[in-house]
Amino acid sequence: MTSRFRLSVERAPGSLERVLAVARRRRLGLESVSVTAADADRWDVAIVAGVPSGEGPLALRNFAALVNVRQAALEDIREG
């Protein structure tokens, strides 16, 4: 399954590193990561990744648990 995670992340030291640490721990096969400035305080992060079965909701919960992540959403893009 290829999925897209959309995160709203505070612009704080280490916050992007923490997001990427979750991606690594949940064994997401990264296809792309994009970061854009939403405003002076937040980044919008989009991660497109191959997600092993059952890992998507866990990764979403892990992202949402990060202190600097304000919102997290997951959508499935394509099967296989």
Partner 1 sequence: MHSAAKAAPATAMPAAADAAPATVRGADALCHALVRAGVDVIFGYPGGASLPIYDALPDHPALRHILVRHEQGAAHMADGYARVRRRPGVCMATSGPGATNLVTGLASAYMDSIPMVAITGQVSTALMGRDAFQETDVLGMVAPVTKHAFLVERPEDIEPIVARAFALARSGRPGPVLIDIPKDILNARVASAGQALAAAPFVVRDALDERELGRAVALLAGAERPLIIAGHGVRLARAHSALRRLAERLDAPVAHTLLGLGAIDEGDALSVGMLGMHGSTGTNASVNAADVILGVGLRFDDRVTGKIAAFAPGAKIIHIDLDPCQIGKNVPTAVGIVGDAGAALDAIAERVPAGSRPAWRAAVAGWTGRSRPKLDESDARMELAPRAVIRAIRDAARADAYFCVDVGQHQMWAAQWLRLRTNDRFLTSAGLGAMGYALPAALGAQVADPDADVWAIVGDGCAQMTIQELGTAVQERLPVKMVILNNGYLGMVRQWQQLFYDGRISQTPIASPDYVKLADAYGAKGYCVERRTQLGPMLAAAARETGPVIVDVRIESHANVWPIVPPGGANADAMDDPAA
| Closest alpha carbon to 74 in 22, 4, 7, 21 | 4
Question: Could you tell me the CA-to-CA distances from 22 to 9, 12, 39, 57, 79 in Å, in that order?
Answer: 14, 17, 24, 12, 22
Site size toward partner 1, by CB under 8 A: 26
Task: Report 56-75 residues binding partner 1 (CB under 8 A).
Answer: 56-58, 60-68, 70-75
Instruction: Identify any residues that bridge with 38 across adjacent strands, giving them in sequence order.
Output: none
Contact between 30 and partner 1 per CB under 8 A: no
CB of 78 to partner 1, least distance (A): 14
Applying CB under 8 A, the residues found at the interface with partner 1 are 13-14, 17-18, 21, 24-25, 54, 56-58, 60-68, 70-75
